Copies of this chain bind each other. A is one copy, B any other.
Amino acid sequence: MDILLTNDDGIHSIGICALYESLKTEGHRVTVVAPSGERSAVGHALTISDPIKVKKIFREGREFGWAVNGTPADCIKLAVNVLLDRRPDLVISGINRGANVGINVLYSGTVSAATEAAILGIKAIAISIDSFSDLNYCYAAFVAKDIAKWFCKTDIKCRAINVNIPSLPAHKISGIKVTRQSTNSFNEKFEKRVDPRGNIYFWQCASFPKEIEKDTDIYWLKKGFITITPIKFDLTDYSCITKFFPPKIN
């Protein structure tokens, strides 16, 4: 297969390299088009007010891909419209450092890259590990290649899936669950500080919701399962659309 890789941790991160090696070993044609540096939590942002610069990257004497000073969604658009000589069969975004589950899915550059590929009509997988330290990238890369093979063979309408992997040794993984996105809001926290010139500033931090909804991505991930959530890019709330009577403008 022709596989395009991207991420939001940047082209030099370990996650994307592990993914690259794992897929190359399987004989796939792999191209990397990824942000030049970290772009965590940029969501589905696009770079429209600044020019986008592109730089070819080599690893161990071989062409590895392109570093883009833009967002993960920019990378996908630029790769498909400009940089690649043919349309990829599959896009994989990751392997992300830290889970992308629940409301985080909306903030995630990793997932947005997969969504962007889906918008362009290409099958796509976002893949993340539920940890910020002790990350088992080798196992995640191993899982990714199997999921890639399966997803491309599956005759399913859905174009994008969001995969999260517990940071556990392989024998402690409980299984795989296809599950929905949790919608509980996270615990928001803003840490207030004062700079040396007396100005106030804030650091934004958040943690998983206190109340974990049953049978959701967060729920199963915390129980040691690999989670797969099919993702869509139509934000219409159809459950409401028929019940609306538009207002009168006076």
- Which A residues fall within an 8 A CB radius of B? 38, 40-49, 51-54, 73-74, 77-78, 80-82, 103, 105-107, 111-112, 115, 119-121, 142-143, 146-147, 149-151, 154, 156-158, 175-181, 183, 185, 188-190, 192-193, 199-205, 226, 228-241, 243-250
Partner of A106, one of B115, B203, B229, B249: B115
Partner of A244, one of B51, B146, B178: B178
Bound state CA distance, A232 and B200, in angstroms? 34
Closest to A112 in B: B43
A46 touching B41, Cβ below 8 Å: yes
Residues of chain B within 8 A (CB-CB) of A178 are 241, 244-246
Q: Which of A147, A176, A193 is packed against the most chain B CB atoms within 10 Å?
A: A176
Further contacts, 5 of them, CB under 8 A, given A41-B49, A54-B200, A235-B235: A42-B42, A43-B73, A51-B193, A74-B204, A142-B249
Bound state CA distance, A38 and B245, in angstroms? 34
B51 touching A41, Cβ below 8 Å: no
CB distance from A48 to the nearest CB of B (A): 5
Summarize A's interface: helix, strand, loop or mixed.
Answer: mixed
CB distance from A28 to the nearest CB of B (A): 16
Interface pairs (26), CB distance under 8 Å: A38-B49, A43-B45, A43-B112, A48-B205, A51-B201, A52-B203, A53-B200, A77-B188, A80-B188, A82-B202, A106-B115, A119-B183, A120-B185, A121-B185, A143-B249, A146-B250, A156-B244, A157-B239, A157-B240, A158-B239, A180-B234, A228-B244, A229-B241, A230-B240, A231-B235, A233-B235
Partner of A49, one of B40, B74, B235: B40
Residues of chain B within 8 A (CB-CB) of A78 are 190, 202, 204
CB distance from A35 to the nearest CB of B (A): 13
Q: Which of A40, A175, A240, A243 is packed against the most chain B CB atoms within 10 Å?
A: A240
Residues of chain B within 8 A (CB-CB) of A181 are 234-236
Known contacts A40-B48, A112-B43, A232-B236; decide if A241 and B200 are in contact (CB<8 Å).
Answer: no
B106 touching A44, Cβ below 8 Å: yes
B238 touching A180, Cβ below 8 Å: yes
